[in-house]
Chains A and B, each alone.
Chain A
Amino acid sequence: MAFISSGYDPSSPMKDRITDIGPRKYDEFYPPVISKNKGKWLYHEYLQPGVFVHVAESGDEVYSVRVGGMRLMSIGFLREICEIADKHCGGYLRFTTRNNIEFMVDNKSKVKPLVDDLMSRKQPGGCYKFPVGGTGAGITNIVHTQGWIHCHTPATDASGPVKATMDVLFDDFVNMRLPAHLRVSLACCLNMCGAVHCSDIAILGYHRKPPMLDHEYLDKMCEIPLAIAACPTAAIKPAKMELPGGQKVNSVSVNNERCMFCGNCYTMCPAMPLADDVGDGIVIMAGGKVSNRVHAPKFSKVVVAFLPNEVPRWPTVTATIKKIVEAYAKGANKYERLGEWAERIGWERFFEKCDLEFTHHLIDDFRDPAYFTWRQTTQFKF
């Protein structure tokens, strides 16, 4: 592994430095049919799951084929994507905001060879490399995070649970039988990178034990006031501690009864780790959405307070999600998002239909707004 210079000269680091050029400009990468018809599209139509056409004022058509993306992918995989795009699409492709991949062709005759090619490519274990789907009233890709692949604060993994869940929900990725589209997302801690707070169903990594305190190092590694200010429930106070050797140090104390295990203090202070094999697990949320269609955007609500991390396939998590999807598919009206269905039938009925236990953990107790989530009416269903 001999070092190869790029041309960068470490002895004069600012020499020849190029900065602030930003991303490449979008229109460098448009397929010709997109460049030509941009802003002049008339309508679109789904032809089959994963395949749709846009028709322009000029009469031009662009057929898009959407395939599930792993998000975490190697350059070998990316090069295979390029090979497909070169073979079928003149060297153009795009990714979606949910990390699916879209191949575009300008003629209907090019669709079937492309779809057949995509569906024929499999990994050695039998997984599809490029499953076609993710459109319309079905389940598309799961927006997710880093998990144990790259992050220091997770309470669960991301790539593993996503693979396990998409395997269980796969039929709905390649079909459009639901009342409306159903968005699933995952975040491995409650920083909620991504879309957990606004998804139809959300998988959220959660801790259940207060942080451990590395008193010997805390004052050396952390700005104590920042750790204190990081706590939403003011559970952290400054404290003087005596180490076993008799040395007095500045540190913090945590009031365990006020701690709800968010982990934000650890984000700010490396001497307060809280990950735990049995304490950590998953919260399931449901009923969020971002679109303004019919109803305003909604936050997702906590419907299962804890499920354990069961590696490598999280069977209880996936079974619970499947149960919610099936109850929704059976009960909701056409066009009704999961949260709209739950609100129409009432959350008491949602728990019954989804066969989920209602525990005290689900009742909001965070500051003033909690009151507005309790029931100030005699209207309820038995």
Chain B
Amino acid sequence: MAKHKTPLLDQLETGPWPSFVTDIKEEAARRAKNEKKVNFQVPADVCDDLLGLLELSYKHGRTHWKHGGIVGVFGYGGGVIGRYCDQPEMFPGVAHFHTMRVAQPGGKFYTTEYLRQLCDLWELRGSGLTNMHGSTGDIIFLGTTTPQLEEIFYVLTHEINQDLGGSGSNLRTPSDCVGQARCEYACYDTQALCYDLTVEYQDELHRPAFPYKFKFKFDGCPNCCVASIARADLSFIGTWRDDIRIDQEAVQGYIGGELPPNAGAHMGRDWGKFDIKKEVLGLCPTQCMWLEGKKLKIDNRECTRCMHCINVMPRALRIGEEKGLSILAGAKAPILDGAQMGTMFVPFIKVEEPYDEIKDVIGKVWDWWMEEGKNRERLGELMKRQGFQKLLEVTGLKPDPRMVKEPRSNPYIFWKEEEVEGGFMRDINAFRKHHMR
């Protein structure tokens, strides 16, 4: 018997898509039954009260969580999102309902053994509810009480060899696409680089030392499956600088209709026979492809590596062999000055352990932003305020047309005094000798 009536939420238990309401109800019932005789460390009816509170929000059209909440574990300045409900007497089971961010493994690959360890821990000491996963990548333990935080952290670190993720004005939990683990497009090992940098910068992740939050994301190619270009302050996107590898026989396979275009991604509709001229050559953004007799030709020097032709003919076209990545900087959501996507500032860098060249760039960006960034100013906003030139100056990079979509159209150009012959110090009287008032 459910503790609270939830007539509104009950209506979300039908339809084809999996219902979170049914799932939470089932967890509530499992906890009420408690077949394993677990000595629950947070109220057994936490899931019932969460549904009750959510039903009340549906009735009121407003959230019922109090503002903020500052909790955590000793030694760290983040990792836990404190939360208290604003009707604790009606819903004591969620009076405390803190979230813990748990650092996820690269590519979000798991063994069931590991996931069960997490489930056992969270069953005893938390609500039994999770997010798999938070938008930034973390495993989310959704809902526990303050006294359990240290206990959970102790078990995580001592028994599961597992740390918390990031929150607050610091380096947040980095995340990556599936990469070379299961994708032929990956231009570098996203998991290896993501893991290496996560371990390297543990201090920056656990103890907020920044003006605001900072995120890394690692995409193996410009398809951007982890959306780094939109969702990370530094986006690491794989690319190559030599020629696309062409298997002419497979090209004929596509033209002849033996191989499905785009790996069969459009099989739900009849789009007609594959037309390489229309579907590949005609859509190439730089028009650098052509057919010579039966042979497909690419003027690789003019290719911008957008991935379209490779995506359409994955068995015929492969990424080049001289691989690396581009670094883009400054993506963020709208608050405060408007949304930004990452801006290209390192067009090509090799990806070689121990990644010193990449770490050097990160260090220089942080040195600048940590000193100059205003309170709650993202890197992208500092770039807008102080100028892209400043980013180049602090990283020692040479300006390059690859860094702009177009040159400026206003002529409000700053010059440095040392760039201008004779400097800025001038004598008005010397001027007046030749120009009367």
Contact = CB atoms under 8 A, between A and B. Distances in A.
Interface of A: 1-8, 10, 13-14, 16-31, 34, 38-39, 41-49, 52, 54, 62, 64, 68-79, 81-83, 85-86, 91-97, 99, 101, 104, 123-131, 135-138, 143, 145, 147-154, 157, 159-160, 163-164, 166-167, 170, 173, 175-178, 181, 190-198, 226, 229-230, 232, 262, 264, 266, 270, 273, 275-278, 280, 290-295, 297, 299, 309, 311-313, 334-335, 366-367, 369
B39 A21 contact: no
A195 B231 contact: yes
Contacts of B436: none
Contact of B229 (A190, A196, A297): A297
Given A23-B103, A28-B111, A44-B263, A277 B186 contact: no
A13 B61 contact: no
9 contacts: A14-B74, A19-B202, A23-B198, A124-B13, A125-B19, A177-B266, A190-B334, A366-B338, A369-B338
Q: How large is the interface on B (under 10, 10 to 19, 20 to 34, 35 or more residues)?
A: 35 or more
Contacts of A290: 224, 227, 229-230
Nearest to B224: A290
Interface stretch (B157-165, B362-370, B388-396): B157-165
Of B14, B125, B305, most buried by chain A (CB within 10 Å of CB) is B14
B220 to A, nearest CB: 10
A280 B62 contact: yes
B163 A76 contact: no
Given A85-B112, A137-B268, A312-B12, A194 B135 contact: yes
B224 to A, nearest CB: 5
Contact of B20 (A126, A163, A178, A194): A163
Nearest to B203: A20
Given A19-B163, A46-B265, 10 more contacts: A6-B151, A22-B202, A46-B263, A47-B264, A54-B182, A73-B23, A74-B30, A148-B62, A195-B135, A312-B8
Contacts of A92: 109-112
Contacts of A164: 12, 15
Interface string B279-316: 10001110000000000000000001111100110110
Given A128-B18, A292-B224, A195 B230 contact: yes
A95 B23 contact: no
A273 B181 contact: no
Given A75-B27, A163-B12, A311-B8, A29 B224 contact: no
Interface string B248-285: 00000000000010111111110100000001000111
Contact of B265 (A10, A19, A99, A176): A176
B341 interface: yes
Interface stretch (B52-60, B348-356, B411-419, B427-435): B52-60
A193 B264 CA distance: 32
B108 interface: yes
A131 B17 CA distance: 7
A292 B311 CA distance: 12
A323 B212 CA distance: 39
A185 to B, nearest CB: 9
B3 interface: no
Nearest to B29: A76
Of B122, B206, B262, most buried by chain A (CB within 10 Å of CB) is B262
A21 B159 CA distance: 12
B268 A38 contact: no
B122 A75 contact: yes
Of A17, A62, A294, A335, most buried by chain B (CB within 10 Å of CB) is A335
Interface in B328-364: 333-339, 341
B404 interface: no
B24 A152 contact: no
Contacts of B59: 311
Contacts of B104: 23
Interface in B29-67: 30, 39-41, 43-44, 47, 50, 54, 57-67
A17 B62 contact: no
A43 B313 CA distance: 9
Given A22-B202, A71-B131, A312 B267 contact: no
A1 B45 CA distance: 12
B183 interface: yes
A70 B305 CA distance: 34
A339 to B, nearest CB: 13
B58 A82 contact: no
B116 interface: yes
Contacts of A312: 8-9, 11-12, 58
B163 A152 contact: no
Contacts of A45: 260, 263-264, 314
Nearest first, the 7 closest Cβ-Cβ pairs linking A and B are A26-B106, A136-B265, A167-B15, A277-B61, A177-B268, A125-B13, A270-B67
Given A125-B19, A312-B8, A192 B27 contact: no
B175 interface: yes
B83 interface: yes
Nearest to B17: A166
Contact of A176 (B26, B183, B267, B341): B267
Contacts of B267: 46, 48, 136, 176
A313 B12 contact: yes
A232 B337 contact: yes
B158 A18 contact: yes
Given A20-B202, A226-B375, A292-B224, A94 B67 contact: no
B191 interface: yes
A201 B16 CA distance: 21
Nearest to B405: A296
B46 to A, nearest CB: 11
Contacts of A135: 265
A68 B105 contact: no
B222 interface: yes
A335 B58 CA distance: 39
A5 B188 CA distance: 44
A127 B135 contact: no
Contact of A20 (B67, B143, B163): B163
A3 B147 CA distance: 10
Contacts of B17: 68, 127-128, 131, 163, 166-167, 170, 173
A152 B129 contact: no
Contacts of A2: 39
B8 to A, nearest CB: 4
B233 interface: no
